[in-house]
Amino acid sequence: MNSHEYGDSQASRPQDHSRERADLRTGHVREDVARSGRCGNVHLATGRTCILPARHHGSCEFVGSREAGEAAGH
Ligand SMILES: [Zn+2]
């Protein structure tokens, strides 16, 4: 009957993100790749590195460490 009550329960939900550590926010970035103007994000599960341009749109595209090194100018 009271259809306007529907959205209320979610808005009052407490958020518990206060214990998130700020120093973990950057994650892992491969420095030589990042310094060459690329994303440099490291995928922890595979150890592969993103060589897309820094601050690229969309999701990262990870390549092997050799390819990442070549992209970084090695
Ligand atoms: Zn990326």
Name the pTM for this structure: 0.63
Which of 62, 58, 71, 69 lies closest to 44 in space, CA to CA? 62
d(CA 64, CA 16) in angstroms, rounded, equals 37
63 bridge partner residues = 49
**How do residues 38-57 score in pLDDT, each as one tens digit?**
999 999 899 999 999 999 99
Q: How confident is the model at residue 37 (pLDDT cuts 50, 70, 90)?
A: very high
Determine, yes or no, domain membership for 40.
Answer: yes
In the reported structure, the alpha carbon of residue 16 is separated from the centroid of ligand 1 by a whole-number distance in angstroms of 28
In the reported structure, the alpha carbon of residue 59 is separated from the centroid of ligand 1 by a whole-number distance in angstroms of 6
Determine, yes or no, domain membership for 61.
Answer: yes
In the reported structure, the alpha carbon of residue 56 is separated from the centroid of ligand 1 by a whole-number distance in angstroms of 6
Domain count, the chain: 1
Determine, yes or no, domain membership for 44.
Answer: yes
pLDDT for 59 beyond 90? yes
Residue 42 lies in domain: 20-71
**How do residues 4-32 score in pLDDT, each as one tens digit?**
655 555 555 566 555 555 444 457 999 99
Task: Give yes or no for a contact between 42 and 48, defined as CB atoms under 8 angstroms apart.
Answer: yes
Determine, yes or no, domain membership for 4.
Answer: no
Determine, yes or no, domain membership for 8.
Answer: no
